[in-house]
Structure 1
Amino acid sequence: MTALKDIADKVRSKNAGPFWLTLDVFCGTAEAFARISSGLDTGLVADMFKADPATLKRFDMPELNVVKFSMPRPAVQGTHADRDMHGASFAVLLGEIEIR
């Protein structure tokens, strides 16, 4: 198995407003997209971020070679409980997921 970050061109996370995060996996090629799309388990992503699977949204975009996730932020942006004001650190964790 190989880490997602070693297959994808770029793994990025960012705020999608103060209540949601977006995680993007830019695959680069159709072959990388096919491998990542089929090997990346949505339930595993939900577990990794302690997100409710019912609120985690996944978008596979083969025409762009991108897999995208959107999920509620664990804490509202800018509040005392928010540990990542910009949502950028989530990409590092996502990049560590092993792909078959």
Structure 2
Amino acid sequence: MPDRATPSIGDLAAEVRSKNAGPFWVTMELFMRDAAGYRIVADPAFLNETVVADLYRVAADDVRMFRIPSLNVVKISFPRPVPQGSLHDRDMHAGQHHVPLALLPVPEGTS
């Protein structure tokens, strides 16, 4: 359980969401409240392909990150663990995939 005294990405964001990007990919979007929050999540020293890969148990080489400073948005895509609608799919619309990312603690002194 995360320490709620430590702010998370979700605390700095206006919205963190996930959705299907076709039957084989998930896309997550971090809509940050302001440029300061964006600088934190856009910093590759904090949030990068390896961090996402570890959170979602996918290969880092398969993670795609798009940083959009003019919108204060970071978009992340990676292959779904199982195809959408398959027997073992537990979230057909990928609507809950964002939760581990939203709960990721922000490094001390950056929020």
Q: By the TM > 0.5 criterion, same fold?
A: yes
- What runs of 5+ residues in structure 1 fail to find an aligned partner? none
Q: Name the aligned partner's letter for residue 51 of structure 2.
A: L
2:33 & 2:100 partners in 1: Cα distance?
20
Indicate yes or no: 2:104 matched with 1:68. Answer: no
What is the CA distance between 1:37 and its match in structure 2?
A: 1.3
Percent identity at matched positions?
A: 39
- SS of the counterpart of 1:99? coil
Alignment of 1:1-80 (within 5 A): 1-38=6-43, 39-80=46-87
Runs of 4+ in 1 over 3 A off after TM superposition: none
Query: Is 1:2–1:99's contact at 8 Å kept on the other side of the alignment?
Result: yes
Q: Which amino acid aligns with 1:27?
A: M
Equivalence for 2:104 = 97
TM-score, with structure 2 as normaliser: 0.85
Matched pairs, number: 100
Alpha-carbon deviation of 1:42? 2.8
Structure 2: runs of 5 or more not aligned: 1-5
What displacement does 1:20 show? 0.4
TM-score by length of 1: 0.94
Report the RMSD for the aligned CA atoms in angstroms. 1.1
Shift of 1:57: 0.3
Contact 1:55/1:71 (<8 A) preserved: yes
